[in-house]
Amino acid sequence: MLDKLVAQYSAIIESLGEDVNREGLRDTPKRAAKAMQFLCRGYNQSLEEVTNGAIFESDTDEMVLVKDIELYSLCEHHLLPFIGRCHIAYIPNGKVLGLSKFARIVDMFARRMQIQENLTRQIAEAVLKVTNAHGVGVIIEARHMCMMMRGVEKQNSVMSSSVMLGSMRNNPSTRSEFLTLVHSRRAL
C-alpha cells in the first residue's frame, strides 16, 4: 500500500510541473505518502481499541467537561487541513470514561477525511455509545485551510459546529451550563 502511494505522489508532483528527481524532492513522495498515512490512521482504529476498557463505575451525575482538545483533521473536499479545538461534555449515567480517552476518540475520527459537521456528530455518538451517558454535547471550533489558503482566502473565519444528544439536547439549563463553561476563559 505504501509503494502504491509513493508512486502516486511521484505522479502528482510531476503533473504539477516539478522534477521529482531533483535533490530536494527525491524523497518527497515517500515522506508525503507516510505523512498522509499518518493523517488518515483513524481508518485503522476502532472505538473498543482507543477506549481500551477505561470505563469506570461512578455515581456522579454532574456534568463532566473536557475542554480545548486539540484537533487536526483533513477536509474531504480538498484534502487540506482544518485545525481547531473540541469541547466535550457529558452527564454520566453510572459510568465515567478515563480523561485521556476523549482525546483518543477525537483523534480516531479526526484522522480521516472529514467534514466538520460529521466529525462533531461522530464524536458525540461515540462518547454516548461508550459511556451510555444521560446526555452528551460536543462543540468544535476550527479554521479551514481550504478557506484560508485558497478560494475566498478568508484568514480569520472560524467555523463552529455542535451536536447535543439526550439530556444535553432536551434540557435547556444543562445545555446553557455547557455553553457557559466552554466560553468562560480558563483560570489555570
Give the separation between CA 1 and CA 29, rounded to whole angstroms: 13
Interface residue with Zn ion among 146, 148, 159, 179 (CB under 5 A) is 146
Choose the binding region for Zn ion from 32-40, 91-99, 146-154, 179-187 (rule: CB under 5 A). 146-154
Cβ density class 47-85: b for 16+ within 10 Å, e for less: beebbeeebeeeeeeebbebeebebebbbeebeebbebb
Choose the binding region for Zn ion from 28-36, 123-131, 141-149, 155-163 (rule: CB under 5 A). 141-149
Q: Which amino acid is at 3?
A: D
Please identify, using beta-carbon distances, which residue of 74 and 108 lies nearer to Zn ion: 74
Q: Which amino acid is at 113?
A: M
Burial of 143 (0-12, 13-18, 19+ CB in 10 A): middle
Please identify, using beta-carbon distances, which residue of 30 and 143 lies nearer to Zn ion: 143
Give the separation between CA 106 and CA 46, rounded to whole angstroms: 12
**Three-state secondary-structure class, residue 66:** strand
75 lies in the binding site for Zn ion (CB under 5 A): yes
Please identify, using beta-carbon distances, which residue of 77 and 183 lies nearer to Zn ion: 77
Which residue's Cβ has the minimum distance to Zn ion?
Answer: 146
Choose the binding region for Zn ion from 18-26, 29-37, 105-113, 140-148 (rule: CB under 5 A). 140-148
Choose the binding region for Zn ion from 27-35, 68-76, 91-99, 171-179 (rule: CB under 5 A). 68-76
Q: How far is the CB of 120 from Zn ion (least distance, A)?
A: 16
Q: How far is the CB of 111 from Zn ion (least distance, A)?
A: 16
Strand 64-75 to 113-114 pairing:
parallel
Please report, as ranges, the residues that interact with Zn ion according to CB under 5 A.
75, 77-78, 146
